[in-house]
Amino acid sequence: MSIVSDRPEATAVPEAATAPRATAAPEDAATPQLPITPLGPGFGAEIHGIDLARLDDDQVLALREALVRHKVLFVRGQDTLDDAAQIEFGRRLGEVTVGHPVHDSGDVAPEVYSLDSQDNGFADVWHTDVTFVERPPAISVLRAVVLPPTGGDTNWADSQLAYESLSPGLRAHIDTLTAVHDGSREFGYYLAQRRKGRGNLWEGEVFTELKPVEHPVVRVHPESGRKGLFVNPGFTSHIVGVSEHESRGLLDILYAHLTKPEHVVRHRWQRGDVALWDNRSTAHYANRDYGDQHRVMHRITLRGDTPVGPAGARPATGGA
């Protein structure tokens, strides 16, 4: 079902909604202009009673700060938001990229990546968006366009909490490691066959091939300074400098730990929902449990920076 507005437009945040909630973490009291309800001690939050298309500058700043702190935010009641308003909202948060380096989403704005279940638009593998480029996106903003009657939930994993709950010895070891991220496993055939070897303009260059890149296994968040796992089953191919057996063993351990239930928040989509997440501190997975029902989600991404590991060095690109 397509999202159709049956609600009056919000013109301001109700006064009662701006008061800090009793369930809010103490630091949320400093941003009363956003009615934030945390979903857990340090990961995930819901926001009600705001209109993303009508935020003032202080609210935008507070939203960005809340996103770094909570890592994924779910904003309800955005029924009137369309692609143009979603892009404009993204521009207030940061620099909007094209929708995807390779994928052609058809008759939508170039900034939009359309995930359409009728065009193989699934995301049912744990991944972090577009880590197969040198500067993966910092933030993603996803809007529900068509929802199945049931199913189609999305799960997010907190990569910082996952890292911090590893044993000290394992943390010390993976702090020194680098991994290769390769987009060809997911998009190589699509680029060669569907796009005839010519993708989209990304960071000033047209994508004509998917070259593997290296990123640190542990990423230091450029704003919070917290460490988090920066490997994912969708795009990470192997760890550099170890045997294939050791690489697979380490990655399997990290993936299993990253996606433990206590590190995961699950969102059941409703009409008018928008999700924002910090790509630098999360991974996500979209449930493919709705059969042949139609599901369409529109995503935009904000330009990020080159991932940096605990040692401060940036890995060389072009890893094999």
Give the residue numbers annotated as catalytic, written as ranges: 127, 129, 284, 299
Structural Rg of the chain based on CA atoms? 19
Q: Which amino acid is at 54?
A: R
Q: Which residue from 140, 156, 54, 142 is spatially nearest to 97, judged by alpha carbons?
A: 140
SS3 216: strand
> Are 296 and 117 within 8 A, CB to CB?
yes
- The torsion angle over the Cα atoms of residues 142, 145, 149 and 152, rounded to 10 degrees, is -30
Q: Which DSSP helix (H) or strand (E) runs through 174?
A: helix 168-174
Q: Which residues, 6 or more positions from 4, have their beta carbon under 8 angstroms from its beta carbon?
A: 79
Q: Which residue from 236, 192, 230 is spatially nearest to 210, judged by alpha carbons?
A: 192
Q: Which residue has the tokens 């997010």?
A: 156
Q: Which residue has the tokens 């900034």?
A: 111
Between CA 88 and CA 65 the distance in angstroms is: 19
Return the number of other C-beta atoms located less than 10 Å from residue 5's C-beta: 14
Sign of CA dihedral 204, 207, 211, 215: positive
Q: Give the phi and the psi of residue 189 in degrees, each rounded to 5.
A: -65, -40
